[in-house]
Amino acid sequence: MAANQTIIQAAGQRYAPTKIDYSGYIQGISSVATALIEKKNNQAKNKAALNDLLAGTETDITPWGDIIKSYIDQSPDSIETKQQTVERMKKGTLKLEDLKKKMAEMIEQGLTESLDPDVENWIRSYAAGEFDQVYSVAQPVYNDDGVQIGTKMQEFNMNFGFDENFNPMVIGPKGDPITMDEFENLLSVPSASDGDEVISLIEEFPTLSGVKPYKDGTKPPDDVFMGEYRKTLGMIKKLFKSGTDDVSGENVMTAFMFDSSFVGKDGEDANFIDWYLSREDLFPDDFKKLYGEYRKEYAIGSENEKKMLNIIAQDLIKNDPNIKDDLMKFIEATLNEYK
């Protein structure tokens, strides 16, 4: 059973008597979390590969030279079609170079914890040069009459190639070739800092004149507090709906959920994911017991556990029709602590 199916089933069974073995799921996300953290740590050490991408490394189309020349010389396509094809090829390779640079910038700034594990693994693998290995393919050799007279070996790089129409392709997260548009879509994710404006509003809230205690220690009247409360809540809702000049509302909300934390009234770090996963009715007892045992034995408070919690949360949030309501409950509860 796929990971997200298992965890959704876990949440869905919280009131049902059916017994489910969650051990495989828990061990599975543990392995995934460990692998991603290892890649992250190795990437931090291997700055050379990242610097190459940041510098905008040029796409090497040399191995494809013979095929491109053969197309131009022998294809029955019109000159206009050939020109369009070559132009499309050039445009695509330039876009690839831009996307590789964007990928490096994302890693340098810190990848969002909302990334699907498959996509995060692919981004880190691609940026680390793990797809740079070369493989050989036999290419036909023709005489002037178009008759094949033999073959020769042609070397190709796994992280770049063309389809039959000379559209640039790269290996995607599932191991299949993807287009530049698909590549771009995979990188169209929130930045870890996209929720910062919401954090600022939450952190400023207890300092507002209608919220903080007066000098004599008394609190502002309830109606004054509620005025500040409604105003701050309205600004947060607006950010979630409309975003900022540079960031969409969806990205603001996602980054706040997965990447943002703040110091709560009790002086402890607070974040939405911990609150969301701590709800008593979210998981059945069997799941909570197994995960509790795992925490005690391996990873309480570790980076590994935090990654696991984010993967679990991803699986749930993707299929939670009430996630926006839950998010607002968390924010409302956070602001109401200062009442």
CA atoms 103, 108, 109, 115: torsion sign: positive
Q: In what order do the strands lie in the sheet with 177-179?
A: 161-162, 168-171, 177-179
Residues ≥6 apart with Cβ < 8 Å to 81: none
CA distance 100 to 102: 5
Residue 240 lies in a domain: yes
| Residue in the block written with tokens 């993967």 | 311
Report pLDDT for 144.
80
Report pLDDT for 229.
97
How is residue 57 written in tokens? 């490394």
Which residue among 167, 187, 207 closes a domain?
A: 187
Residue 28 lies in a domain: no
> Could you tell me if 87 and 181 lie in one domain?
yes
Express each pLDDT in 298-322 by its tens digit: 666 788 888 988 998 998 888 888 8
Report pLDDT for 272.
96
Report pLDDT for 6.
54
Report pLDDT for 69.
82
DSSP single-letter state for residue 173: T
Residue 20 lies in a domain: no
> Could you tell me if 158 and 286 lie in one domain?
no
> Could you tell me if 179 and 55 lie in one domain?
yes
CA distance 23 to 290: 7
What's the number of domains the chain is made of? Answer: 2
Report pLDDT for 279.
79
Report pLDDT for 116.
94
Report pLDDT for 122.
92
Report pLDDT for 135.
62
Residue 5 lies in a domain: no
- Residues in the chain where the model's pLDDT stays below 50: 1-3, 12-17
- Among 242, 320, 326, 316, residue whose Cα is nearest residue 10: 316
> Could you tell me if 169 and 61 lie in one domain?
yes
Q: What is the DSSP string of 132-165?
A: --EEEEEEEEE-TTS-EEEEEEEEEETT-EE-TT
Report pLDDT for 261.
93
Report pLDDT for 290.
80
> Could you tell me if 214 and 254 lie in one domain?
yes
Which residue blocks in the chain are alpha helix, DSSP H? 3-12, 23-45, 47-54, 65-74, 79-109, 117-127, 180-187, 196-204, 222-242, 249-259, 272-277, 285-294, 303-317, 323-336
> Could you tell me if 212 and 172 lie in one domain?
no
Q: Which domain holds residue 279?
A: 196-336
> Could you tell me if 177 and 76 lie in one domain?
yes
> Could you tell me if 92 and 155 lie in one domain?
yes
Report pLDDT for 202.
97
Which residue among 164, 187, 210 closes a domain?
A: 187
- Among 50, 59, 58, residue whose Cα is nearest residue 169: 59
> Could you tell me if 163 and 244 lie in one domain?
no
Residue 113 lies in a domain: yes
Report pLDDT for 158.
61
Which of helix, strand or coil describes residue 284? coil
> Could you tell me if 182 and 288 lie in one domain?
no
Residue 230 lies in a domain: yes
Backbone angles phi, psi at 243, to 5 degrees: 75, -155
pTM over 0.85: no
> Could you tell me if 332 and 201 lie in one domain?
yes
Backbone angles phi, psi at 137, to 5 degrees: -130, 140
Report pLDDT for 139.
67
Which residue among 187, 217, 242 closes a domain?
A: 187
> Could you tell me if 256 and 157 lie in one domain?
no
